[in-house]
Amino acid sequence: IKFLLELQDKRNVETVLIPDKTLSRYTICLSVSVGCYLSCEFCATAQISKSLVRNLSPGEIISQIILCKDYIDDWSTQKKITNQVLMGEGSPFLNLENVKVAIDNSKNKDGLEYGRTRITVSTVGVGIKKDDMNAIEWAAKELDVYLAWSLHSSIPKHRSEIMPINDKYSIDSLIPQLKKYYDQTKLPIFIEWICLEENMTDEHAKELIKIMKKVPSKLNLIEFNPLSNKDFKPASQENIDKFSKTIQDNGFLSLFRRSRGRDINASCGSLANKKS
């Protein structure tokens, strides 16, 4: 279920409510900004404008949850929305102060009362400083929730081609920070990996295994949702299975996430503030 929300300044942002197969539990995918300047080539949000329009306030982030809870009447002791993922529009690590306030209210027993393992925050790996600490180190202490690293390519040259931010914050520079995040929280890092024809190669798998040996992590393989103005091709199921097996054979967990909500432009990488 996709919600297109109009904010007080008439800007728009999207939120997605994702039911499980039994329709008894939901995950909510939250946006943290209008637009995004990271320009990841495979993401529709980056095509809205090549810039960040503005960050959302803590209230605008929390209001997405409240709206969805109202929509499905989720106010009993037994929660229907069991998980929150800050993986919608925008980069949470470029809106850390507001994201922290929103998460604090989500976790607070007098607020929405979500446990730390029910919330996941994504990052491409922004290494900005925060209170004289690296942002990832700061987030480990101040957010203390699951962290998902949008990696998508283990080969630096290729990652820079599809994610320009890699030129500023390289894979090698982020690995020690992610290791510190695990050391502080004891929560494994979720590595997010969009399944493209070009990044499901033996070389990518080999380099990814090297990374996973350094960072306690789990791999989430994500089905690619094609963009009308891009030439990326989704990986075949045969290549996805082969890639996943290689990771598993080396002792790491690899999960494949089928696309949900493609018919209403609500799937991963598809949020572009457009009506279906």
Positions annotated as catalytic residues are 14, 268
Nearest alpha-carbon partner for 192 in 87, 68, 276: 87
For 101, the 3-state DSSP assignment is helix
N-terminal to C-terminal alpha carbon distance within the chain: 11
CA–CA dist 140, 178 (Å, integer): 9
Do 105 and 62 meet the contact criterion of CB atoms below 8 Å apart?
Answer: yes
Distance CA 158, CA 173 (A): 16
Virtual torsion, Cα 33, 38, 43, 45, nearest 10 deg? 30
Cβ atoms of 37 and 78 closer than 8 Å = no
Angle at 198 (CA atoms; ends 206, 34), nearest 5 degrees: 105
Residue 73: CB partners within 8 Å, gap ≥ 6? 80
Is 86 in contact with 121 (CB distance < 8 Å)?
Answer: yes
The residues that bridge with 257 in the sheet, in sequence order, are: 222
* 75 class by beta-carbon count within 10 Å (0-12 exposed, 13-18 middle, 19+ buried): exposed
Q: Cα–Cα distance between 276 and 262 in angstroms, integer?
A: 10
Q: Which helix (H) or strand (E) holds 218?
A: strand 217-223
